Amino acid sequence: YRMEDKGEVKCIKFSLGNKILAVQRTLKSVDFLNFIPDSPQVEYTQECKTKNANILGFCWTSSTEIVFITDQGIEFYQVLPEKRSLKLLKNQSINVNWYMYCPESSVILLSTTVLGNVLQPFYFKSGTMSKLSKFEIELPAAPKSSKLSLSERDIAMATMDLYVLYLRHHSRTSNSTGAEVVLYHLPREGSCKKTHILKLNRTGKFALNVVDNLVVVHHQDTETSVIFDIKLKGEFDGSTTIHQFVLPPRSIQPYQIPVAGPASVTSQSPVPCKLYSSSWIVFQPDIIISASEGYLWSLQVKLEPVVNLLLDKGKLMDFLLQRKECKMVILSVCSQMLSEPERGSLSMIATVFDKLNHEYKKYLEAEQSYTMVVEAGLSRSNPLLKRPVRTQAVIDQSDMYTHVLSVFTEKKEAPHKFTIAVLMEYIRSLNQFQIAVQHYLYELVIKTLVQHNLFYMLHQFLQYHVLSDSKPLACLLLSLESIYPPAHQLSLDMLKRLSTANDEIVEVLLSKHQVLAALRFIRGIGGHDSISARKFLDAAKQAEDDMLFYTIFRFFEQRNQRLRGNPSFTPGEHCEEHVAFFKQVFGEQALMKPTTF
């Protein structure tokens, strides 16, 4: 589409959804053009309502709502595309030096007063405009003259909640050198408060971005950037928290600009982009534009290198848990701290497990609360209720088992005492946060103990209920009877405590080809007279072990003799196939003869 040339375009923006285009060509009005199917593309105009006011700019707050910011206030309009007109919803008179808009939070910030350091925020939502509490930015020192002292260039807005960031080039305290970034927290209700100060410890030209809830400050003179995380602990002075940068200053990763032009020319090697150029323009939250080279980038934080820059694993975990794409990096850190050469102490490993399980528990509790509300039928009366979002910071037991603990035990690099201590430390942490431990973690402990013949330790763990009772655990113990005979009784005791359905246990053991263990279990609970002979003979035959089949067959012959006075199977037991197989393998003479008294 080609617009008619009606003079210089000062500002041009599509509405949310790209259905209406707004174009500002003069200081007095904004032109509109519909991009709606079957709608005539005829421009319509809205002049600002305030006399003698100049339009500084405009912001779309929805697909059909727009705000004009003038030097004398703001005007909030609804656009009616079908009527090709605008309806004034609300306006507010206030002297404005400059403005800033944060689309994620729908907040416009106006700089007012002669010095420009009193900021007035307005919040927009579904046709309403709310005036929030105004606040004053503390200037570095009392200005010598009554002229604008707070520049738009030194203010940014960030949506880690909603903060206003002020780049103060000189500290207010005489003993402090270098610039600092002051953060003001802007709540929906209540007054705005200064909450954080980020110490830059240097002077010069700076620019700010906010990436992945981190404040990134670029420094032109040294061509480096520093990262701040306000969620990490800082030095609290009673009202504000003072933060130093999390990592040493680092440069943005170099970018190679491909050479454009004919094929003969493009064989030339790409040209490195000039980083931290004076022609760079920075937009929130993460945009950098190189005006001289005509490039637009979005800034990203790479988490993998952070692992080697933050050596304190506790602080590293606190940092990683706040990032969006953190899961695989966290699991990699957990694997590293269990392996040489970076193996950590047990206390440090415990700290990391506790931090992970703290996040895991928070999610489980939120999920549980949501489920209770839904089941109680209260969700209809609360339309704002949303299912908790499972972020990458939620590292559950299956994540730890699959990516860290099972791999760690299989490697067998570490001394077995350390391996068992690590597994028990993870279980201890889960118990501390009252998270039900999954049976596969207990199985991992038992298998590790068995591999190292630590049966005395296994016995103690079971005796003192360090390993919680469960059906899968009892079945695992039954299968260990051949190498550790007391395991049979330990498993029976566990099953009795569980009051589990005995048929299920037999099925599980038979499915694992633990036929003798299943038979011993049934005898142990006194149910061997009523079990199906065919079921056990099927399982014994599938095991392809002739001696096992012989043992099971003989057991049932003896049972038949004891119960009916004849070792033969009745037609109702459907064991003809197994009798034939027995004769084929061991001969007819091996069949048990009826005993007469």
Q: What is the pLDDT of residues 523-582, one digit of tens each?
A: 877 777 888 899 999 999 998 889 999 999 999 999 999 888 889 998 888 899 999 999
Is residue 229 one of the residues assigned to a domain? yes
Instruction: Residue 28: give the domain boundaries.
Output: 1-96
Say if residue 325 is in the same domain as residue 288. no
The stretch 127-150 carries a mean pLDDT of: 82
Say if residue 556 is in the same domain as residue 454. no
- The b-or-e profile of 209-232 (16+ CB within 10 A means b, else e) is bbbbbbbbbbbeeeebbbbbbbee
Say if residue 567 is in the same domain as residue 588. yes
Task: Give the 3-state secondary structure of 211-277.
Answer: ECCEEEEEECCCCEEEEECCCCCCEECCCCEEECCCCCCECCCCCEECCCCCHHHHCCCCEECCCCC
Say if residue 213 is in the same domain as residue 293. yes
Q: What was the pLDDT predicted at 453?
A: 84
Condensed to tens digits (0 to 9), the pLDDT of residues 241-284 reads 999 999 999 999 888 877 765 555 555 677 788 888 888 888 88
Instruction: Give residue 198's pLDDT band: very low, low, confident or very high (50, 70, 90).
Output: very high
Is residue 204 one of the residues assigned to a domain? yes
222 within 8 A of 296, measured Cβ to Cβ: no
- Amino acid letter, 266: T
Is residue 155 one of the residues assigned to a domain? yes
Question: In the listed set 497, 514, 531, which residue is the last one of a domain according to the structure?
Answer: 514
Is residue 13 one of the residues assigned to a domain? yes
Q: What was the pLDDT predicted at 267?
A: 59
Both tokens of residue 435? 């998270």
What does the angle CA 126 – CA 129 – CA 135 come to, to the nearest 5 degrees?
Answer: 135
Say if residue 48 is in the same domain as residue 160. no
Tell me the backbone φ, ψ of residue 211, rounded to 5 degrees: -130, 125
The stretch 323-327 carries a mean pLDDT of: 92
Question: In the listed set 514, 544, 572, which residue is the last one of a domain according to the structure?
Answer: 514
H or E, element range at 511? helix 502-511
Q: What was the pLDDT predicted at 488?
A: 77
Alpha carbon separation from 197 to 201, 230, 233, 483, 575 (Å, rounded): 12, 9, 12, 64, 83
Specify the 3-state DSSP secondary structure of 98: strand
Task: Tell me whether strands 271-272 and 280-283 are parallel, antiparallel or unpaired.
Answer: unpaired
Q: What was the pLDDT predicted at 268?
A: 66
522 within 8 A of 531, measured Cβ to Cβ: yes
| Calpha distance 401→396 (Å, rounded) | 9
Query: Which of 138-142, 375-379, 433-437, 528-532 shows the highest mean pLDDT?
Result: 433-437
Say if residue 154 is in the same domain as residue 235. yes
Say if residue 358 is in the same domain as residue 483. yes
Say if residue 326 is in the same domain as residue 177. no
Is residue 121 one of the residues assigned to a domain? no
Of 22, 16, 194, give the one whose Cα is nearest residue 106: 16
Write the DSSP symbol of residue 289.
Answer: E
Task: Give the 3-state secondary structure of 176-187.
Answer: CCCCEEEEEECC
Is residue 117 one of the residues assigned to a domain? no
Instruction: Give residue 357's pLDDT band: very low, low, confident or very high (50, 70, 90).
Output: very high
Query: Which of 95-99, 132-136, 478-482 shows the highest mean pLDDT?
Result: 95-99
Contacts of 33 (CB under 8 A, 6+ apart): 3, 20, 21, 23, 41, 42, 43
Q: What was the pLDDT predicted at 473?
A: 83
Q: What was the pLDDT predicted at 55?
A: 93
Q: What was the pLDDT predicted at 456?
A: 85
- Cα 413 off chain centre by: 31
Question: In the listed set 464, 479, 514, which residue is the last one of a domain according to the structure?
Answer: 514
H or E, element range at 290? strand 287-290
Say if residue 427 is in the same domain as residue 280. no
CA atoms within 13 A on the CB side of 4: 7
Is residue 342 one of the residues assigned to a domain? yes
236 within 8 A of 252, measured Cβ to Cβ: no
257 within 8 A of 275, measured Cβ to Cβ: no
CA dihedral 462, 465, 471, 474 (to 10 degrees): 10
Both tokens of residue 336? 């590293």
DSSP assignment of 401-447: IIIIIHHHHHH--S-HHHHHHHHHHHHHHHHHTTPPPPHHHHHHHHH
Say if residue 26 is in the same domain as residue 11. yes
Instruction: Give residue 381's pLDDT band: very low, low, confident or very high (50, 70, 90).
Output: low
Is residue 104 one of the residues assigned to a domain? no
Specify the 3-state DSSP secondary structure of 92: strand
Of 332, 357, 355, give the one whose Cα is nearest residue 342: 332
Q: For the chain, what is the domain count?
A: 4
Say if residue 336 is in the same domain as residue 481. yes
176 within 8 A of 155, measured Cβ to Cβ: no
The stretch 121-136 carries a mean pLDDT of: 90
Say if residue 80 is in the same domain as residue 190. no
Whole-model pTM? 0.76
